[in-house]
Amino acid sequence: MKKRTIILYWILLFVPTCIIGISAFYMIRHEQERINQEAVSSAKVRARTMADAISATVETVEDAFIESLNAIPNPLVYKTLLDWVDANPLVRNVFVWDKEKGLQYPLAGATATSEENRFIVRYEALFSGRISWQAAGSSRNEAFGSSSSDKELPGRNFSSLVQETRKFKSGRQALKDLAQGRYESEGKNLLVEAVTSVGEGGWIPWFEENRLHILGWFQKRPDSAVYGIELETMTLLSRIIADFPKEVSDGIVYAIVDGKGEILHQIGNGMIQTGTPSDQFVSLAPFLPHWQINVYMSNGMLPIESEKGFLILASLLLVIFLASIILGGLLLTRQAQRNMIDAMQKTSFVSSVSHELKTPLTSIRMYAELLEEGRIKDTEKMRRYLKVIVAESQRLTRLVNNVLDFSRLEQGRKTYHKELFNLAEYVRTILQAHRLRIREAGMNLIDEVPDEIISVELDRDGIEQVLLNLIDNALKYVTEGGELLITLKRKDKHCEISVMDRGSGIPPAHRKKIFDRFHRVDNSLTSIRPGSGLGLSISKKIMLDLGGDILYEPRPGGGSCFIVIVPCASTETILQNPDQL
């Protein structure tokens, strides 16, 4: 594959990968933003539902109190109000005020409780007549006019108020009962009177040191006394929120916060500090002015935080995605290169084999033609020519055997015929058969094969093929002659046949690779010697199949040393077949 083609493939792989990765990143980011916004808006909707429930309940309670105030018969005003302040937890203080005479109850001084004295001081502006009741009540309208509530506000005509029909929820109904209960416990149904009477009343939100107080007043006729109650807001709130769900989505906290920023009640887990600002809030005005429900989103739910986490996650995914594509690309490129090398090796293998076949065939043909012509009369010469023909045809056979073995080994079809024999004797026989050929090639064969029985259970042909491959290589690659030392040594459970020459040896970088198929050391020697790069790989495979191995090590003093490791036969096998040795 050309370099330009590889670069083109990489561009084709990389550019779409980046485009997909970046678009995926943006899409996930967009989706995350949408989910965040949905979470925020659904939390806000929930807060608004809570706010509406609180407002509706406060309004119901207020309406019920106004009804009750209206229903009190004139002679019973004092008694009823005092009963309420004693027994109704929603009532904090009560009062009776006359335009002419001023405050009738409670009276400041030693007889009043400290709470009553504080109450008198708190509403001094009203009780002194500086601010009219109507004007104070209407401030609820002005101050909180921005409220989303379009309900009729206090300060309105009572007759319209009592005619309203409302459906109350059970909790709200209980509070309403409480607002009316004290009066009804008298056993008189004075509400009948209330429906027919026309009076004026309302509710005044009052702030003292930024604390909210709610004062309800009622006046039966324009010239009659004004009387009313101050609501116990905390009791009211605690009763309302008792009905609220305790469980909310993880990471979201709803907090009811007063005008000072203090948290009065919290729904959801999470530590929220007083005064922590919140982007999302719903006001509880006009019924509870300055109070609001804050929505806090924690645990990575806040858009900014979740975005950070999301960015890290998305980047990580993108990196993994890109890395896997690049890795896949690298593996494919490597595989393609390997296939390319394989194809090249196979092509060169075909030409090498043809070349190797051609050399012995040429000599065989040449000597056979000479003999056929009958011009050679010298018997000695004739014998030599015939010997060359035999040797060359044997070489041809070995070569063809190697090629056949290669295809058999590649397809896993090679079969071995194992038998028990004496390896020392067998090696000696092989060397004897090739001694002359070795000498004629200019090498001096020294065999150090011990005169003892070394029993092996192997395939004879396999061992012979391995040995002849090593001897042929020595003859082929050692141009300067010298000794060819072949030794056989018994080790513990195996024996070693070493084939050593005094040639140039194998360069370190090629020592492992020479056992790979088609691998030839790229030097001047291999360029002039025909070869297919198969001999050593076939020999190694045969030896591994027979339970042995072949190793290469440089020979001390120069040259190559190939060590053939052969497993010895077990004593059991020897004892079972003693006559085969």
Is residue 77 part of the contact set for ligand ADP (CB under 6 A)? Answer: no
| Strand ranges in 349-417 using DSSP code E only, listed in sequence order | none
DSSP secondary structure code for residue 523 in this structure:
S
Is residue 395 part of the contact set for ligand ADP (CB under 6 A)? Answer: no
* Token digits of residue 116: 């009553």
Distance of CA 546 to the CA centre of its chain: 48
Is residue 103 part of the contact set for ligand ADP (CB under 6 A)? Answer: no
For ligand ADP, give the closer residue by CB, 289 or 533: 533
Size of the site for ligand ADP (CB under 6 A): 19
Other C-beta atoms closer than 10 Å to the C-beta of 333 total 15
For ligand ADP, give the closer residue by CB, 156 or 510: 510
For ligand ADP, give the closer residue by CB, 98 or 342: 342
* Token digits of residue 292: 């609001």
Among the candidate windows 174-182, 214-222, 267-275, 498-506, which touches ligand ADP by CB under 6 A?
498-506
The CA R_g of the chain, rounded to the nearest whole Å, is 55
112 vs 117: CA distance, rounded Å: 6
Burial of 537 (0-12, 13-18, 19+ CB in 10 A): buried
Q: Which of 87, 67, 64 is nearest to 190 (CA)?
A: 67
Is residue 236 part of the contact set for ligand ADP (CB under 6 A)? Answer: no
Is residue 536 part of the contact set for ligand ADP (CB under 6 A)? Answer: yes
Site for ligand ADP in 469-488 (CB under 6 A): 469, 473-474, 477
Window 437-476: contact mask with ligand ADP (x via CB under 6 A): --------------------------------x---xx--
Is residue 533 part of the contact set for ligand ADP (CB under 6 A)? Answer: yes
573 vs 343: CA distance, rounded Å: 45
Q: What is the dihedral of CA 124, 126, 129, 131, to 10 degrees?
A: 120
Among 140, 520, 541, 555, binds ligand ADP (CB under 6 A): 520
Site for ligand ADP in 315-374 (CB under 6 A): none
Phi first, then psi, for residue 274 (nearest 5°) are -60, 135
SS3 441: coil
Cα separations in angstroms, 444 against 338, 392, 430 = 41, 20, 16
Closest contact distance (angstroms) between CB of 489 and ligand ADP is 20
DSSP secondary structure code for residue 578 in this structure:
G
For ligand ADP, give the closer residue by CB, 61 or 536: 536
For ligand ADP, give the closer residue by CB, 255 or 399: 399
Closest contact distance (angstroms) between CB of 385 and ligand ADP is 27
Is residue 532 part of the contact set for ligand ADP (CB under 6 A)? Answer: yes
Is residue 526 part of the contact set for ligand ADP (CB under 6 A)? Answer: yes
Is residue 535 part of the contact set for ligand ADP (CB under 6 A)? Answer: yes
Closest contact distance (angstroms) between CB of 433 and ligand ADP is 20
106 vs 97: CA distance, rounded Å: 9
Interface with ligand ADP (CB under 6 A): 469, 473-474, 477, 501, 503, 506, 514, 520-521, 526, 531-537, 560
